Amino acid sequence: MNFKQDNLTAKQKDYAIFLPAISSFYAGYIGKERYPDQVITIGDRLPKGLGNMESMNWLNSKESLFPYKYSLYSAGHADMDLSKHVPKEDMVRNREADTIMLADSGGFQIAKGVWPGQWADPKDKNAEKKREQVIAWQMGIATHGMTMDIPTWTYLDKKASELCGIHSYDDAVNATHFNNEFWMANRGGDLKILNVLQGSNHAEADHWYDKMMCILC
């Protein structure tokens, strides 16, 4: 069965850019094909007739059936240690030079208590370490990075609230404000920063926008 390449990048015009989110599971299959003795995946599920897994890698303009140069990858899924070789993340780390990668910051992981720390305290060592790790990772693998926002609903989950130290709307806003200041002070290279807006209603959203934009403008 022969398939004709459909260049999705060429079709991207006159509307908002869609960013397919790369899951670690999906990237793992790309890595398994490139490094078969170093990556473990669950079986071989590629349908017959598609050739190989690289044909499913839209960031490979030469071999993909549907090349597309835009993607999103989250710190919450990633191995952020850039000092070591991670074959299962080769799709992200060793992609073509002209591709556009937006790196999410992992704010959702904070909100769910997956990244514990007292995030309302600017001097908390766990939070400080994670901030430094995430922004270094963004600069290492991405063209664009999201600020590390803490969603305003974080404190509504009692367990997560205790784990991350966010107990109110103001805690979420002030912690995000500090994170944004850190991002603007420590970004380097050509990394472009995207602001993230939060709020459970129009008043909160307006307040959030006014408070954050004074840093990012």
The domain limits of the chain are: 1-104, 107-217
Residues in Cβ contact with 146 at an 8 Å cutoff, skipping those fewer than 6 apart: 102, 103, 104, 105, 107, 193, 194, 196
Q: For 111-132, b where at least 16 C-beta lie within 10 A, e where not — what string?
A: bbbebbbbbbebebeebeebbe
188 pLDDT above the threshold of 90: no
Q: Ramachandran region of residue 103, left (φ > 0), alpha (ψ -120 to 50) or beta?
A: beta
Residue 216: its pLDDT value, please? 59
Give the confidence band of 1 by pLDDT, cuts at 50, 70, 90.
low
Q: What mean pLDDT do residues 194-215 have?
A: 88
DSSP string, 134-192: HHHHHHHH-SEEE-----TTGGGSHHHHHHHT--SHHHHHHHHHHHHHHHHHH--TT-E
**In the predicted model, what is the mean pLDDT of the chain?**
90
Residue 146: its pLDDT value, please? 95
pLDDT in tens, 139-177: 999 999 999 999 989 999 899 899 999 999 999 999 999
How large a percentage of the chain has pLDDT more than 70?
94
Give the confidence band of 22 by pLDDT, cuts at 50, 70, 90.
very high
4 pLDDT above the threshold of 90: no
pLDDT in tens, 99-141: 999 999 999 999 999 998 999 999 999 999 999 999 999 999 9
Give the confidence band of 13 by pLDDT, cuts at 50, 70, 90.
confident
Residue 44: its pLDDT value, please? 63
pLDDT in tens, 25-56: 899 989 988 998 887 665 566 677 677 889 99
How large a percentage of the chain has pLDDT more than 90?
69
